[in-house]
Structure 1
Amino acid sequence: MARPTRPPTHGRGRTAGVVGAAVGLAAAGTALGVGLTRIARRRVRAAELGAAGERAAALSAAQLREDDPLGTAGRAADRTALVQADDGVLLSVEEIGPRDAPMTVVFVHGYTLSMASWAFQRRSLAAELATANGHRPDARLVFYDQRGHGSSGRGAPERSTIEQLARDLDTVLRMRVPSGPVVLVGHSMGGMTIMGLAALRPELFGTRVVGVALLSTSSGQLAELTFGLPELLTRVRAAVFPVAAWTMRHRPAFAERTRVLAADLVSMVTRSLSFASSDVDPALGRYVDSMIAGTPVDVIAEFYPALAGMDEIGSLEPLRRVPTLVLTGDKDKMIPMEHSERIVERLPDARYVVVPDAGHLVLLEKSDEVTGALAAFLRRLAAGASAH
């Protein structure tokens, strides 16, 4: 997807950007059938969301978890670090578990989120992996914020690519996991980052990388997504989103103010696209709002073309060498389960798990199911390693 270099409507870029963003979001909300009474009942006040966004932008992921309304924080990080990417960007890393654990699991989060999206897995997975003899964790857990997200630094706009994210992951592995077997777990854009690493460093798979889990992700064709919208509204979205994207990139302060003013609408659409359950705790919605509000609008716009134009289907070949878990929610509107099925077609030996009544943020919405599937997968890997 080409990036426009100037506003599509000459002299009216600011107005068109607001209209584009508002119409696109409103169309999505209408198409998803969310009533005004539900908006009023679950709304997040614009001022509160704005304050949450400012906090999220300024605080580290650990601090965000301390402010977590769900109490998902669990144990604090055993170690924190800053890893310098190849272009100088500093990536924030947190680790749980002993340095000499027999296996390291690296978690890679999704678009507009942060390492805080793994809050439930962070809280429970170490305990799930405890061995019977002495309750020593079988694995060290490593979490990091992707560039431009959470508390990591930002790079040049032209570096907002899957290839760069893959190089960042490679750097995290070299600096924080220099030896021993590694399992990579990626959600959404995080899964795409892992596929990018497979293209960049295929020799790692089957040697250093001994397992991969891909959650709610895709190998390509994202530009065709409809987000569950009827055909007419999909055409409206396609027409107005480039204008909104231009505004986010080139008038970020204006777009940020618009996002705060439209907080109720943004929150409504976010929840509709993220969750499938009708009884999602409003606190969970606010938690997601805080993560997204902490991602600058120009970062969101800069990464969108890379995601929309991505084609990593050929990058799946190295994953044939390692056990792979593919997991998705059956009601994911952001990246429908057909994208996971396409991955499984290329990885016929993969374990495929479909979580019922779950949306795109299945790791938060159905955390027990996701943590259980990951724990079982990691135990099988550990058993296989010990057998050899």
Structure 2
Amino acid sequence: MVREHRPKHSRGYTAGIVGAVVGLAAAGTAVGVAVTRIAGRRVRAAELGPVADIAELSAAQLREDDPLGVNSRVADRTAIVHADDGVLLAVEEIGPTDAPLTVVFVHGYTLSMASWTFQRRTLAAELATANGHRPDARLVFYDQRGHGASGRGAPEHSTIEQLARDLARVLETRAPRGPVVLVGHSMGGMTIMGLAALRPELFGSRVVGAALLSTSSGQLADLDFGLPELLTRVRAAVIPVAAWTMRRRPVLAERTRRLAADVVSAATRSLSFASADVDPALVRYVDSMIAGTPVDVIAEFYPALAGLDETGSLEPLRVIPTLVLTGDRDTMIPMQHSELILERLPDAEFVVVPDAGHMVLLEKPAEVTEALTALLRRVGAGSPAGR
């Protein structure tokens, strides 16, 4: 793991997310695999050992005896948060409600709170368990609207601003007092930036630290995935058709991606991981989270990501300790996007994880957890003064 405190400025190709896994192509074609909902029932005990159907389980329900280590600490509490438009958000918490610090984890596009499984397990043991002293932190995880176990909203509410309002509601209801650290991956990092634009007064008063993992503040629609120019042009022509198909013909889109399940897995591996020896079970794990996100939800959020511009929202984060972390081989949101964030946050800690892709939190969990632990120590968790 390489630590830097200032970016090495690069003028490499501008890249983005193209709807994260949406970018490969159309839901109405055989190559529309990256946006398709793999049949969750493919991910069963035969593939993931004791996990019967990971696509239908929350992180807290994963079996503790899973030999592949994709388990999470069972939640101490579950809750439902009502968003300002009535959408129900599923929340899970670990650690006492009177812990001196609350850490809120915000997951990425097409994923769920289960994406934090390794960090949840380790940080729960290190910070949210009474190991002879008062726990240092409470961990709060939730599913973003339309993802995981949370409800869906109106299509016009599929925006970063609405996700920011959802995060504000989670803070108001589940962490109404005391210091908070926000941790966001991909679209989750964009949600944190959206909150900074919506409620800048929270940063420095309630929000005392932030981590922006594998994320971007804008210019996302230019992603080329390293494709040749011809394929990039084809992709640009196909994506509008794909988005229309997913919104207007979701049944057709669902059927198509089930038929293309094997190609979906290959695309997931290519776009999410960089390691040559990545465990196939982790690929299936990501597949299963994507499977929990309806294709029309994927399509509804795509315009918000493609048109994202949160560069001006970074100013409130200058007053708090901030971690910017990326995998050095992330093709979904390449490192240049983290470097652009560092231009606005020159005092942030910059961590580049070698040989890691977009799902760095699953691919290199120890390095990510180490960086998060260092951030939490900077804001007081785990220090003698904080106990």
- TM normalised by structure 1 equals 0.85
1:111 paired residue among 89, 109, 112 = 109
Contact 1:205 1:321 in 2 (8 A): yes
- 1:245 and 1:380 map into 2 onto residues whose CA distance is 43
- Aligned-partner Cα distance in 2 for 1:151–1:131: 26
What is aligned with 1:325? 323
1:303 matched to 2:297: no
CA change 1:228–1:86 in 2 (3 A) is same
Provide the residue aligned with 1:367 in structure 2. 365
Give the counterpart of 2:100 among 88, 99, 102.
102
Conserved in 2, the CA contact under 8 Å of 1:74 and 1:122? yes
Structure-1 residue corresponding to 2:28:
18
Question: Aligned partner of 1:310: which letter?
Answer: L
Query: Where do 5+ consecutive residues of structure 1 fail to align?
Result: 1-15, 29-43
- Whole-Å separation in 1 of the counterparts to 2:41 and 2:316: 47
1:385–1:319: structure 2 CA closer, same or farther, 3 Å change rule? farther
Secondary structure of the residue aligned to 1:119 is helix
How far is the alpha carbon of 1:24 from its aligned partner?
5.6
Q: Does 2:147 align with 1:149?
A: yes
The CA deviation at 1:47 is: 6.7
**Secondary structure of 1:18's aligned partner:** coil
1:141-163 CA distances to partner (integer Å, 9 max, x unpaired)? 00000000000000000000000
Q: Where does residue 378 of structure 1 map in the other structure?
A: 376
Judged with a 3 Å threshold, the aligned counterparts in structure 2 of structure 1 residues 180 and 45 are, in CA distance, closer, same or farther, namely: closer
Report the Cα offset of residue 234 of structure 1: 0.9
- Corresponding position: 1:169 with 2:167: yes
Residues 207 and 296 (structure 1), Cα distance of their counterparts in 2 relative to 1, 3 Å cut = same
Moved more, 119-128 or 61-70: 61-70
Query: Conserved in 2, the CA contact under 8 Å of 1:46 and 1:261?
Result: no
Give the count of matched residue pairs: 353
RMSD: 2.7
- Say which SS state the counterpart of residue 382 (structure 1) adopts: coil
Contact 1:210/1:322 (8 A) holds in 2 = yes
Higher RCO, Cα 8 Å, sep 6+: 2
Q: Which runs of 4+ in 1 moved over 6 A?
A: 44-47, 65-69, 130-133
- Distance in 2 (CA, whole Å) between partners of 1:67 and 1:290 is 19
Give the partner amino acid of 2:203: F
Change (3 A) 1:130 1:152: closer
> How many Å apart are 1:232 and its aligned residue?
1.5
8 Å contact 1:105–1:142 — kept in the other structure?
A: yes
Structure showing the higher helix proportion among its residues: 1
**Offset of residue 377 of structure 1:** 1.1
Q: Residue type of the partner of 1:206?
A: G
* Aligned partner of 1:358 among 325, 337, 356: 356
Q: Which residue does 1:196 correspond to in 2? A: 194
Unpaired runs of at least 5, structure 2: 1-25
Alignment of 1:230-269 (within 5 A): 230-269=228-267
Q: Aligned partner of 1:330: which letter?
A: D
Change (3 A) 1:311 1:50: farther
The aligned residue for residue 212 of structure 1 is 210
When normalised by structure 2's length, the TM-score is 0.85
